């Protein structure tokens, strides 16, 4: 079987996979990183979003072998080593941006990429457009948008805003 | 998904050879259409030839042309300020494909080679008289698109870059399917020194096509009013659960007028 070598959450792995093994299958089934979810399995819902070389991608629509030599970050890899949550995770908690939580890992990974890509600020409209590829069936999105807006200054080194 | 052998060649020549040696081998660009196709078992290639290692990325903005590497992602096209200043319609088109995660993987070459009848890029290629460069030749966009999911490419031929003629004004407008984000009707209009070219995607039974009646009217008067009275026959248009052929015929006029109104 072919082998894929990649870095996941800072740790190097070399794993035997089939040609058809998806990146999300590698993460969940070979590496036990089940925080990345499979929702629709048709690249619509975004529950499987991870970062590959720093960019949000749908891990259900990428072959594991395509990620050879690349650096993958999953929801398990964003908190600090001492367990301190990433500002985006903290703001999701603060603003009650999840109910059942199924879409949350993908939402958080998409949101971090979105904030990284817009250092000068994000309007609510830009946040909503940025979430186009992530579906949530519980929250109605309002609190997710609030959480991302609140995380933006924290991630870019500014003082936190109080929760509404 | 059926299993397959996997190859990731380091040169275009090696990729062409791998595809030529095995008639059941298929090229993989960004995979944002092809991987879903594989998952549905609509294709059963023996070997996947991943083009991800090939040096086919980048945007080169010249005075009269813009050349984009075939493996350039939609996100790279959408975020190029240089391109936005030169061909705003093309930059905006890219920013509307799929969603951000899809745009990080999907490529221009992959989209053109697939020639999905509802894909956006084919309309830009036709409207800007693009030249599609492959490993062995150059193909004009007018000759490249040959019907739904059909192009002039040989089975083992690989697109390397696409060169667009920079128009004086351009715009892309689309009426989206709210679920898939694909175009039910998409219109790319480009005003060139020697006339207007306008291409329609999403609507034609044979895939993307140029709307010559609109082009003639707009070449003498580049305004939405110039085409307001021109009806499009529904005979050769798609009808499906999302929109009838008659509705698409109506939308073509509405969307084309919106595109002309915002062209810059």
Who among B35, B50, B101 is closest to A46 (CB)? B101
Cα–Cα distance, A49 to A60 (Å, whole number): 8
Strands B183-192 and A3-8: unpaired
Cα–Cα distance, A13 to B9 (Å, whole number): 22
pLDDT in tens, B123-165: 999 999 999 999 999 999 999 999 999 999 999 999 999 999 9
Helices of type H across B31-187: 34-39, 74-78, 81-86, 88-95, 100-103, 108-114, 121-127, 141-144
Chain A residues with beta carbon closer than 8 angstroms to that of B2: 20
Give φ, ψ of B133 to 5 degrees.
-95, 135
SS3 content of chain A, % helix, strand, coil (to 5): 35, 15, 50
Residues 55-114 of A with CB under 8 A from B: 55-58, 61-63, 65-66, 68, 110, 113-114
Q: Do B35 and A42 touch (CB under 8 A)?
A: no
Q: What is the mean pLDDT of residues B37-41?
A: 95
Cα–Cα distance, A22 to B36 (Å, whole number): 11
Residue ranges of the domains in chain B? 1-50, 169-262
Chain A residues with beta carbon closer than 8 angstroms to that of B98: 43, 133
C-beta contacts of A93-98 below 8 A and 24+ residues apart:
A94/A147, A94/A150, A94/A163, A95/A143, A95/A146, A95/A147, A95/A150, A95/A163, A95/A164, A96/A143, A97/A139, A97/A143, A97/A144, A97/A146, A97/A147, A98/A138, A98/A139, A98/A144
Q: Do B105 and A132 touch (CB under 8 A)?
A: no
Q: Do B105 and A2 touch (CB under 8 A)?
A: no
A49 in B contact zone (CB under 8 Å):
yes
> Element (H or E) spanning B107, and its range?
none
Q: Do A66 and B52 touch (CB under 8 A)?
A: yes
Chain A residues with beta carbon closer than 8 angstroms to that of B75: 55
Q: Which CATH superfamily is domain A3-76 in?
A: Beta-grasp domain (3.10.20.30)
Q: How far is A83 from chain B (nearest CA, A)?
A: 27
* CATH class held by domain B1-50: alpha beta
Q: Do B36 and A58 touch (CB under 8 A)?
A: no
Would you state the pLDDT for residue A105? Answer: 98
Q: Do B39 and A42 touch (CB under 8 A)?
A: yes
Tell me the fold of A87-155: DNA polymerase; domain 1 (1.10.150)
Residue ranges of the domains in chain A? 3-76, 87-155
Q: Do A49 and B104 touch (CB under 8 A)?
A: no
Q: Do B31 and A63 touch (CB under 8 A)?
A: yes
What pLDDT tens digit does each residue of chain A (164 aa) get?
899 999 999 999 999 999 999 999 999 999 999 999 999 999 999 999 999 999 999 999 999 999 999 999 999 999 999 999 999 999 999 999 999 999 999 999 999 999 999 999 999 999 999 999 999 999 889 999 999 999 999 999 875 554 44
* Predicted interface score ipTM higher than 0.90: yes
Would you state the pLDDT for residue A164? Answer: 46
Pick the residue from chain A with its C-alpha nearest to B179: A44
Place of tokens 């990731």: B8
Tokens representing residue B227 in the block: 């085409």
Query: How many CB pairs (< 8 A) connect A and B?
Result: 74
Neighbours of B21 (CB within 10 A): 10
Would you state the pLDDT for residue B206? Answer: 94
Pick the residue from chain B with its C-alpha nearest to A2: B6
Q: Do B104 and A57 touch (CB under 8 A)?
A: yes
Q: How far is B222 from chain A (nearest CA, A)?
A: 31
Q: Do A20 and B3 touch (CB under 8 A)?
A: yes
> In terms of Cα–Cα distance, which of A8, A9, A26 is closest to A17?
A26
Who among A41, A56, A61 is closest to B100 (CB)? A56
Strand partners, B169: B191
CATH architecture, range B169-262: 2-Layer Sandwich (3.30)
Neighbours of A11 (CB within 10 A): 9
Q: Do A56 and B104 touch (CB under 8 A)?
A: yes
pLDDT in tens, B214-252: 999 999 999 999 999 999 999 999 999 999 999 999 999
pLDDT in tens, B43-84: 999 999 999 999 999 999 999 999 999 999 999 999 999 999
């Amino acid at each position: 079987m072919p082998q894929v070598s990649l870095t996941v959450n800072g740790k190097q792995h070399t794993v035997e996979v089939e040609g058809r093994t998806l990146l999300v299958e590698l993460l969940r089934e070979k590496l036990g990183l089940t925080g990345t979810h499979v929702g629709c399995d048709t690249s619509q819902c975004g529950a499987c979003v991870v970062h590959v070389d720093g960019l949000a991608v749908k891990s259900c629509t990428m072959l594991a072998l395509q990620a050879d030599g690349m650096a993958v970050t999953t929801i398990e890899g964003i908190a600090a080593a001492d367990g301190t949550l990433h500002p985006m995770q903290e703001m999701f908690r603060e603003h009650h941006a999840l109910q059942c939580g199924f879409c949350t890992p993908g939402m958080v990974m998409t949101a971090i990429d979105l904030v990284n890509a817009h250092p000068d600020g994000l309007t609510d409209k830009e946040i909503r457009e940025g979430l186009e590829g992530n579906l949530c069936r519980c929250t109605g999105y309002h609190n997710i948008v609030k959480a991302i807006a609140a995380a933006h200054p924290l991630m870019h080194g500014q003082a936190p805003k109080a929760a509404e | 998904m059926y299993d397959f052998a996997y190859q990731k060649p380091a040169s275009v020549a090696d990729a062409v050879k791998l595809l030529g040696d095995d008639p059941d081998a298929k090229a993989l660009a960004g995979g944002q259409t092809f991987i879903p196709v594989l998952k549905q078992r609509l294709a059963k290639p023996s070997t996947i030839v991943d083009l991800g290692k090939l040096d086919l990325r980048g945007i080169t903005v010249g005075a009269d042309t813009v050349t984009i590497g075939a493996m350039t992602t939609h996100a790279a096209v959408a975020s190029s300020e240089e391109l936005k200043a030169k061909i705003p319609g093309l930059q905006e088109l890219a920013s509307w494909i799929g969603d951000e995660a899809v745009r990080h993987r999907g490529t221009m070459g992959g989209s053109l080679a697939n020639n999905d009848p509802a894909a956006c890029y084919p309309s830009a290629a036709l409207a800007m008289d693009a030249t599609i460069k492959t490993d062995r030749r150059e193909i004009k966009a007018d000759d490249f698109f040959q019907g739904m999911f059909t192009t002039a490419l040989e089975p083992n031929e690989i697109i390397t870059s696409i060169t667009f003629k920079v128009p004086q004004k351009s715009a892309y407008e689309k009426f989206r399917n709210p679920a898939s984000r694909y175009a039910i009707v998409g219109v790319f209009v480009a005003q060139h020194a020697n006339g207007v070219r306008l291409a329609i995607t999403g609507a034609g039974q044979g895939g993307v096509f140029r709307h010559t009646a609109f082009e003639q009217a707009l070449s003498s008067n580049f305004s939405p009013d110039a085409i307001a009275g021109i009806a499009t026959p529904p005979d050769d248009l798609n009808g499906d659960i999302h929109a009838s052929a008659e509705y698409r015929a109506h939308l073509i006029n509405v969307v084309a007028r919106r595109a002309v109104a915002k062209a810059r």
